[in-house]
Each structure stands twice: as C-alpha cells, then as structure tokens.
Amino acid sequence: MATESQHWNDSAQAWLDFVDGSDPNRDCVLDPAMLRLCGDVRGLRVLDVGCGDGRFCRMLSERGAVTTGIDPTAALLAVARERHPEGDYVEAFAESLPVAGAGYDLVVSYVTLCDIADYRQGIAEMARALKPGGRLLVANLNSVASTAIEGWHMGEDGRQLHMPVDNYTFEWGAIVQWRGIRIVNYHRPMCDYMDAFLSQGLALTRYEEPIPSPEQIKERPRLAEYLRVRHFVVMEWRKP
C-alpha cells in the first residue's frame, strides 16, 4: 500500500494539473452518471473513499450532503482541505477505514478500486461503513479497457485501429503514465469484482457502462471512441 501511496504523492501536482484542466472522462461521462445515481443527498452522511483533492466531496457538499473524504495521499488531502475548509478529510487507506461502525448512508468509490492493492479488503471496509439500507456507488475502469494499458493501436494514417485486450483472466497491476502522472493501476476480471461485492452480502441495484451524449460527441469528437470501447462501469450496490 505504501508504494501506491508514494506514486500518488509523487504525481500529485501532475494529477491536479490534469483534473483542474478539462477531463472529458469525468466532465462528460462519469459526473453525470454518478450524480444522477447519488440522487438527492441533502442531509445524507457520505463517505468518499479515495477522495483525492476532494473534488467529488465538494460537489456533493454543494448539494447538501455531509461528506467525509478518505485518501492515503497527503499531498492531495492538503489541497482538499485548502479548497474545502469546512470539509472533513482523513488520511487513511481503503483497506483500513478509520470509521467505528455502520454510520454512512452512502459510500462512494469514484475510480479508486483500480488503485487499491487489496481491493477485496477495501470493498469489505466500504460495506462495513454502510448503514443497513445504505448504498455503495462505484465508478471504476471497465475490466476490458483495464487490460489495454498501451491504449489504442494506431494506423499509419493516425486512425485508431483497435484497443488490445490481453491477460483478461488474471489479476495484475502495472505502471501507467500520462501527462507526468505515474501510478499503479490494477486489472481484475469483472467476475472477481462481482464476487467481492456479493461476498459482502451486497445487492446490485444498478449497472451501467456510461457513454457521452450525441451533443457531447459533436462538441468533442474524440469522445466517439466510447462508442467502440466503453472505458468505465458504474454500479450501485445496496446493503440489506
């Protein structure tokens, strides 16, 4: 866990530069899906596991939620506290959440499972933090796309030919790099993720592979690649 945290601390400024710019994955694909599934959060206690700089905590706080952000990356938490002084941010790993019991109405994992070394323990901890009837809302890399760490194979004319899928069956991690960011991402088959959630007694209530709207694709033509390969999955799980 310490190794992953160090990668993130070393990449913190590059990550902030990236997300403070324009990230169409979040702006056009994940934010709309996640906020829609969150629904009315007024007065709800929300735990954001892997909150980073607190971006999604701030979005939910503006909608009336009482948020707590958890992240192991000290450099990102410092920014979260600066940008959201009234927020509650705690340095900790997902595998060992510093919560006493089942006190949260909603737990959020916004593209963090792919960063968590012991994802089964992380999911168990998220389930533990939920009240009975509470929801776990997860956005994660699609398990097909997470095998293609090299990205698109390009033709000589610059066209995207295909995205390679390999070693899908196994669980593994690899260093990924872009825009000065250098972190470890983990691939797991979707059946392994599903087993980890189901083994905690959670019930799947929503499963989506979100894509941009036609209007968004017209505005940002590169988003049309989502019609060929869906990069993310969004799930809602409920604790009995």
Rounded percentage of the chain residues whose pLDDT exceeds 70: 98
Provide the pLDDT for residue 69: 98
pLDDT band at 194 (very low <50, low <70, confident <90, very high): very high
Structure-block tokens of residue 113: 């499972």
Q: Convert the pLDDT of each residue in 94-147 to its tens digit.
A: 999 999 888 999 999 999 999 999 999 999 999 999 999 999 999 999 999 898
Q: What is the mean pLDDT of residues 222-238?
A: 93
pLDDT band at 155 (very low <50, low <70, confident <90, very high): very high
Provide the pLDDT for residue 2: 52
Provide the pLDDT for residue 149: 75
pLDDT band at 58 (very low <50, low <70, confident <90, very high): very high
Cite the DSSP H helix spans in the chain: 2-10, 12-20, 24, 31-38, 55-62, 74-83, 119-129, 190-198, 214-219
Count of C-beta atoms within a 10 Å radius of residue 14: 15
**Residues 6 or more apart in contact with residue 220 via CB below 8 angstroms:** 24, 28, 212
Strands, DSSP E only, in 80-154? 88-91, 104-110, 130-141, 153-154
Provide the pLDDT for residue 3: 65
Q: What is the mean pLDDT of residues 66-80?
A: 97
Above 80 in pLDDT, residue 43?
yes
Domain covering 2-144+189-238, topology: Rossmann fold (3.40.50)
Domain boundaries, the chain: 2-144+189-238
Provide the pLDDT for residue 142: 94
Provide the pLDDT for residue 1: 54
Going by C-alpha positions, the residue among 197, 48, 57, 66 that lies closest to residue 108 is 48
The span from the CA of 34 to the CA of 192, in Å, is 22
CA atoms within 13 A on the CB side of 13: 1
Three-state SS at 29: helix
pLDDT band at 16 (very low <50, low <70, confident <90, very high): very high
